[in-house]
Amino acid sequence: MEKFVIKGGRCLNGEVVISGAKNAAVGIIPAVILSDEPCILENVPDISDVSISLRILHEMGAKVQTLSRDTFRIDASGINNYCVPYESARQMRASYYFLGALLGKFNKARVSMPGGCPLGDRPIDQHLKAFSALGARCNLDHGMIDVSADNLKGSQIYLDVVSVGATMNAMLAAVKAKGLSVIENAAKEPHIVDLANFLNSMGADIMGAGTDVIKIRGVGYLRGTTYSVIPDQIEAGTFMVAAAATGGDVLIKNVIPKHLESISNKLEKIGVNVEEFDDSVRVWVDGPLVKTNIKTMPHPGFPTDMQPQMATLLTLAEGTSIITEGVWEQRFRYVDELRRMGADISVDGKVAVVEGTGCLQGAPVKACDLRAGAALIIAGLAASGVTEVEDIHHIERGYDNLDKKLQALGGDIIKKHFPGSSVRKAI
């Protein structure tokens, strides 16, 4: 079993280059299926969700070539299998994008119910609503989702819930449907705009991505393209918080500052300095951290995927902060682990009250999901003493070489292999 072993108390200083966005890449990779020619994807993050997505494409008959560490040439013309194997699909949430892409290209798909971070109920009713609106039949069959259509016809799609996944899946299914589709109450995250830009670079006709109304005119043919994935807003935010939590001074490069606005504004309220440049932000601390309140919302609100990391930072601030989780039912499971490090946080449903204790102590902790793991690493870097983070596979699903990037900034973090099970040792 592998763990991150962290010796806390060192300030992070220097420069870090942000990788491509996980939540854009996991939508764009399946979207290659829609193309009738080979595509080249650049700035793809080296994370396990991407490896699984590329493996699924390969298993379905696509040709996947690695041109460099972050660049892949994918020729999906040889796909002859419309079923995404259970074992691959259930390892991540984003496997459901293969439903939209396969349906959009072949009018049929069979994908297992998705996996992903345990954040409470994670239904896919809105995805299926979108597919049905376009004329598809959707069935759940022994843990597999079957969708098929005689032909897909453009339609009005009203999402009852602002859903990133359903918005992206509706785009994938509609892009070759006959006629006009209009997605209303669409999510507006940067990765949705990135998927739309990717599809348009292949010759799709999508307008309005990034607003709550997206119009898609179906096209008959999608050509090959070369496309670079946008930088990861949440990885950048994670490094911003890590710099603040350790009292460091870090230049975070290859970012789109506009995507970081809600995070930068919140950090400045806490007393962190944030200086924006064209494609980088500098984060440093030269005074006390103070309490603030956070409510996570769909974009452009404060991103839910930054909530655990901010909770760690607020444990180090003076005063009482209130965090309200506005997207997921259960996104405070990491609080028990932070308490092992001395955090004073009480949780009632979707609200957490954080008493700033100003310090944390190193302890053995477990990552229960991707962003919780990032929050625990930040806590370990800021704490006094040694922290061991278990179940780091969650973290490696969505962060590209996080330990090496932190080491380069002066963080004392190493990945260690420990024989035996993951049963927590009594200490």
94 is a site residue for ligand EPZ (CB under 6 A): yes
- Residue identified by tokens 């179940």 is 391
Nearer to ligand EPZ, 8 or 116 (CB): 116
Nearer to ligand EPZ, 126 or 264 (CB): 126
> Which residues are CB-neighbours of 258 under 8 A, at least 6 positions away?
none
305 is a site residue for ligand EPZ (CB under 6 A): yes
Cα distance between residue 299 and residue 193, in whole Å:
12
Mark the segment that binds ligand EPZ (CB under 6 A) among 114-122, 135-143, 262-270, 360-368: 114-122
Cα distance between residue 405 and residue 388, in whole Å:
18
Mark the segment that binds ligand EPZ (CB under 6 A) among 6-14, 52-60, 162-170, 248-256: 162-170
Active-site residue set: 117
243 is a site residue for ligand EPZ (CB under 6 A): no
Nearer to ligand EPZ, 171 or 363 (CB): 171
Nearest-10 crossing angle of helices 233-245, 307-315? 10
Cα distance between residue 232 and residue 50, in whole Å:
13
Strands 280-284 and 249-253: antiparallel
* Nearest distance, CB of residue 170 and ligand EPZ, angstroms: 10
Question: Alpha carbon 286 to chain centroid distance?
Answer: 31
Nearer to ligand EPZ, 4 or 284 (CB): 4
* Nearest distance, CB of residue 49 and ligand EPZ, angstroms: 7
For the chain, the farthest-separated pair of C-alpha atoms sits apart, in whole angstroms, at 64
* Nearest distance, CB of residue 163 and ligand EPZ, angstroms: 3
**Which one among 44, 62, 76, 117 touches ligand EPZ, defined by CB under 6 A?**
117
Phi, psi of 283 (to 5 degrees): -125, 125
Nearer to ligand EPZ, 94 or 363 (CB): 94
Helix, strand, coil percentages for the chain (3-state, nearest 5) = 35, 30, 40
List the Cα angle 47/51/55 in 5-degree steps.
170
Cα distance between residue 94 and residue 17, in whole Å:
25
Task: Mark residues 15-54: x for contact with ligand EPZ by CB under 6 A, - for none.
Answer: -------xx--x----------------------------
327 is a site residue for ligand EPZ (CB under 6 A): yes
Task: Mark residues 332-371: x for contact with ligand EPZ by CB under 6 A, - for none.
Answer: --------------------------------------xx
Cα distance between residue 402 and residue 183, in whole Å:
36
**Spatial contact of 337 and 355, defined as CB atoms under 8 Å apart:** no
Nearer to ligand EPZ, 20 or 224 (CB): 20
Residues that bind ligand EPZ (CB under 6 A): 22-23, 26, 93-94, 117, 121-127, 161, 163-166, 187, 189, 304-305, 327-328, 370-371, 398
